[in-house]
Chains A and B, each alone.
Chain A
Amino acid sequence: MEAPLSGSMTTAPERWLTALVFTCLLAGCGTKQVVVQSEFPDPVMNPLPLTLGIWYNDDFANHEFFDEASGRSESSWLVNTGQAQVELWQTLLTGMFRDVVFMNGKPGPGQMNPVVDAVLLPAVDELQYAIPSHTNVKVYEIWMRYRFQLVTTGGEPIAEWTMPAYGKTPTAFMQSDEGAVRLAAIVALRDAGAHFATTFTRVPQVEAWLNSLPRAGATQVQP
């Protein structure tokens, strides 16, 4: 009977070494996974006197980005931002508006939902990343493009606009690619919140809608 390879042809240290080499090789070409998790600060601003509804679809609440490796020497990337997206927008919107209500379902005809002034539907249209091995610049970058829809509880459109967000983080001693991409994503999310908070009332369709509200004079819109 043929003896098993591990028992007859290699000694224990050699086996460990072989296993280590294979592990290192596999680690080099496997998928790098980043789950972005963070807490975000409450915004410092006068809340708009509006009751805003929010509806996150599954794509947004579980948002992830996958980039397949183009060559053997590169790694695939899976960046999961869904949990952090929900955390950011809940914190931000709760601080930006007098009342924030989470919808039971996507606004539309026949959908029973609480009464609100408008419903915001955020979505991530696109996410791109860059790491130093791609760009020869010693920063890790994340770029996102959001698409927002503001609709009535009946689903009729009030406004629709896109908004970019960008985050970067420098290379640091003993920092992994995954850790740096995670940090860059958190910076990008904070940038998204800052961009939204400071420009929401200046989106032309939103501005027109705010001015059309009977209590528009009391919204204290600050550009």
Chain B
Amino acid sequence: MKPRRLLLGALLLSWLTGCVNATVDQMVFNSPTEGMGDASVVILGRRHASDYETEPGFISCVGKHIGARDPSIRVIDELEFLNALYPWFEPRTAPLRPADLEKLFAHRDVAEKFATLQTRYMIWIDGSTVRGDSAGSMTCGIGPGGAGCFGFGTWSDDASYEATIWDFTQRAEVGRISATASGQSYMPAVVLPIPIIAPVQGTACDSVGDQLLDFLSTAN
């Protein structure tokens, strides 16, 4: 019975998650005044910084969050968009300001592609999740009789993202959202290591997604 109880306890503990604090700031310069109709939205990661990179998984998470909450909003997949407009949205060539879009539309083929995709809003997300301080130690051993770990570990994660919304019809930046989240994760180990992970990136994704949804749903 004892091993069963231990296993049950381990399973229950594995459902536990660490605590996360999240802060969201939103600035909307031009609120949408008309519906999106058949128009689509594309969410892209900024990848210009040398020491970090906006995770493709985070971009995908925000897109799925918006798509799941409001199926009427068509979110174009990041890679699909990058491939459809190659080579104009690679880190080296991507427009940095809304004014740069004019230069891009000077290329007839690019303008035609945009017209096909019916993109109304382009959302640039810049940021990353980084591992902060960590403490504790854990020892694991393996022998003919079995294997196990003993110890305790803890670490913090910090996420910081900024989303910038460009409106294609106005060729202008119409909103900016920033979200930060931080959380502490724990991993006690008595024979089995039990991770109690703080969903820091997931919380940041939900925060950014909710704010974007708020903005885009207003347009519907």
Contact = CB atoms under 8 A, between A and B. Distances in A.
Interface of A: 11, 13-14, 17, 40-46, 137-139, 168-170, 172, 187, 190-191, 193-195, 197-198, 222
A41 B84 contact: yes
A164 to B, nearest CB: 10
Interface in B86-116: 86-88, 90-93, 106-110, 113
A44 B84 contact: yes
A138 B130 CA distance: 9
Contacts of B55: 170, 172
Interface string B40-51: 000000010001
Greatest chain B CB density within 10 A among A44, A45, A46, A137 is at A44
B102 to A, nearest CB: 14
Interface string B47-80: 1000111010100000000000000000000000
B1 interface: no
Interface residues of B, number: 28
B52 A44 contact: no
Contacts, number: 67
A144 to B, nearest CB: 13
The 5 closest A-B pairs by CB, nearest first: A194-B87, A41-B83, A194-B90, A41-B86, A170-B53
11 contacts: A17-B142, A41-B84, A44-B86, A44-B109, A139-B52, A169-B53, A193-B87, A194-B90, A194-B93, A198-B92, A222-B107
B72 to A, nearest CB: 28
A172 B57 CA distance: 9
Contacts of B84: 41, 44
Contacts of A17: 142, 144
Contact of B90 (A13, A46, A190): A190
A13 B143 CA distance: 9
A46 B128 contact: no
A187 B86 CA distance: 12
Contacts of A137: 51-52
A143 to B, nearest CB: 12
Given A44-B110, A194-B92, 9 more contacts: A40-B86, A43-B87, A44-B113, A45-B109, A137-B51, A170-B52, A190-B86, A191-B90, A197-B87
A170 B128 contact: yes
A195 B109 contact: no
A42 B142 CA distance: 52
B53 A139 contact: yes
A43 B86 contact: yes
A198 B106 CA distance: 14
Contacts of B83: 41
A46 B93 contact: no
Contacts of B106: 222
Nearest to A164: B92
Given A43-B87, A191-B90, A194-B90, A168 B53 contact: yes
Given A190-B90, A194-B92, A45 B53 contact: no
B154 to A, nearest CB: 18
B22 interface: no
Contact of B107 (A41, A45, A169, A194): A45
A44 B88 contact: yes
Contact of B86 (A11, A13, A138, A194): A194
B122 to A, nearest CB: 16
Contacts of B108: 46
B93 A198 contact: yes
A175 to B, nearest CB: 10
B87 A190 contact: yes
Contacts of B86: 40-44, 190, 193-194
